[in-house]
Structure 1
Amino acid sequence: MFDTPTALLPVPLAPEISLHLVTAPVGLFDLTGGEFRSDTPPPFWAFVWAGGQALARYLLDHPDEAAGRRVLDLATGSGVAAIAAARCGAALVAATDIDPAAVAAAHRNAAANGVTLADGLDRPELVLAGDVFYSPTVAPRMTAQLRAARRDGACVLVGDPGRGYFPERLFELVTEYVVPVPEPLEETGELRTGVWRMR
């Protein structure tokens, strides 16, 4: 499952956390031979995206947001936000993703940081979503899931670096960070990234 070469590295914006990340200076589709195949998701989990980094930094600086709560990290990717929530003393943290390799990577990264994650969670009290508004097909589905969680009483925090499909009208800005990112991945060395709370 993990045939992408990675190394355990500190997260640039949250060096308290280390993740198994790609070390070569490559973009996402360089790891798929330059192709997108709908049956095999690209290895999003092999990178630490700006939105997840911002959520992790925010939680580590404000542990009361997660402490004692049941937390769901939606579209977890590498698991960075889930790991931060667990480090903050969350009662239970679940990491979910449509890609089973991402869930496996999140568990592997959690173990490297001395925390454990669950695979699912009913009625979370806090929902985290980092960098989930990256395409016109994914954004409406993510919005619907987050709105449903909010209606059920969960606090919803999103990390977004201005991906273009982010429904800003549904959120209020909590804080912003300038997040270091791999240049081959983002075509820049840093992204201004907001942590947003759903209204």
Structure 2
Amino acid sequence: MLLEFIRGNTTAAPVPFVPEITLHQADEPIALWEKTEQAGPAQPPPFWAFAWAGGQALARHVLDHPDLVSGRSVLDLATGSGLVAVAAARAGATPVTANDIDPYSLAATQANALANGVAVRALEADILDGDDPYGVILAGDVFYSREMAARVLPYLRRAAGRGSLVLVGDPGRAYLPSEGLVERATYDIPVPVSLESVDTRRTKVWQLTQR
């Protein structure tokens, strides 16, 4: 049922800034957003149907620098579409875990992994109070709200403190932390005007440190 909904409301197409990867993307972003809202208040927005700027930047960076993840365990936190997880798997990471609390997101991730011929493990759980031992943690566009930032940041700081490589893709969201970031790359990412009000977002890849 989940896969049917995803395939019925998206088109598999190359990602604008990462054309090596095919992603099931919304044909009509606003229409799909409204459809999920009509399904009821318990249904999360369809973040899984879009290639967000932070995820595109991380995916591009990982594919261009496979040494960052090759042969290492990787977690794609709040995976959305699974774009970053797919890129990590393409770059040689193993195993790759895509985490989200939305079952539609994880169904989309599995569809996208299959479309790109890679293996990605789906983990449906709120893991932010834990401290899982991944070699690399990738987090695209996770600082979009105060509440999300307050939960994600301590988790990522703990991971960095125990020695994980923590990379964040962010297009200047309001709640990106102001300290403990080392800039790794800057990209101009094409984005849907209907969602972002602009056609390009300058997006940075940051390495997050313990403090």
With normalisation by structure 2, the TM-score equals: 0.88
Mean Cα deviation higher: 120-129 or 96-105: 120-129
Displacement of 1:152: 2.2
- For residue 34 of structure 1, report the CA deviation from its aligned partner: 7.2
Find out whether 1:162 has 2:172 as its counterpart: yes
Over 3 Å counting, the alpha-carbon distance change for 1:28 and 1:160 in structure 2 is: farther
* 1:20 counterpart (6, 9, 24): 24
Q: Which residue of 2 aligns with 1:135?
A: 145
Unaligned runs of 5+ in 2: none
Identity level (%): 51
Which segments of 5 or more consecutive residues in structure 1 lack a partner in the other structure?
Answer: none
The aligned residue for residue 185 of structure 1 is 195
Report what 1:171 is aligned to. 181
1:50 aligned residue:
53
Give, in angstroms, the shift of residue 57 of structure 1: 0.4
* Contact map agreement 1:29 1:36 (CA 8 A) in 2: no
Rounded Cα–Cα distance in structure 1 between residues aligned with 2:31 and 2:66: 32
**1:1-199 mapped onto 2 (5 Å cutoff):** 1-2=2-3, 3=5, 5-26=9-30, 29-33=33-37, 37=41, 39-120=42-123, 122-199=132-209
CA 1:115/1:125 → structure 2, altered by over 3 Å: closer, same or farther?
A: same
* Counterpart Cα distance in 1 of 2:46 and 2:199: 20
Partners of 1:31 and 1:42 within 8 A in 2: no
> How far does residue 32 in structure 1 lie from its aligned partner after superposition?
3.0
Separation of aligned partners in 1, 2:40 and 2:164: 34
- Cα deviation, 1:164-186, whole Å, max 9, x if unaligned, reads 00003121111110000011011
Aligned mates of 2:172, 2:64 — CA distance in 1? 22
For 1:108, the aligned partner's letter is A
Is this contact kept in 1: 2:37–2:43, CA < 8 A?
A: no
User: How far apart in 2 are the matches of 1:110 and 1:136?
Assistant: 31
CA displacement 1:43-97 (0-9 Å, x = unmatched): 1001110000000000111110110110000000001111110001112100001
Indicate if the aligned counterparts of 1:21 and 1:47 stay in contact, CA closer than 8 A: yes
RMSD: 1.8
| 1:108-162 CA distance string (max 9 Å, x none) | 1011000011134941000000000001111110101111211221100000001
Report the number of matched residues.
Answer: 198
CA distance in 2, matches of 1:91, 1:176: 26
Whether the 8 Å contact between 2:10 and 2:25 is mirrored in structure 1 is yes
Aligned partner of 1:103: which letter? L
Q: Distance in 1 between matches of 2:194 and 2:34?
A: 10
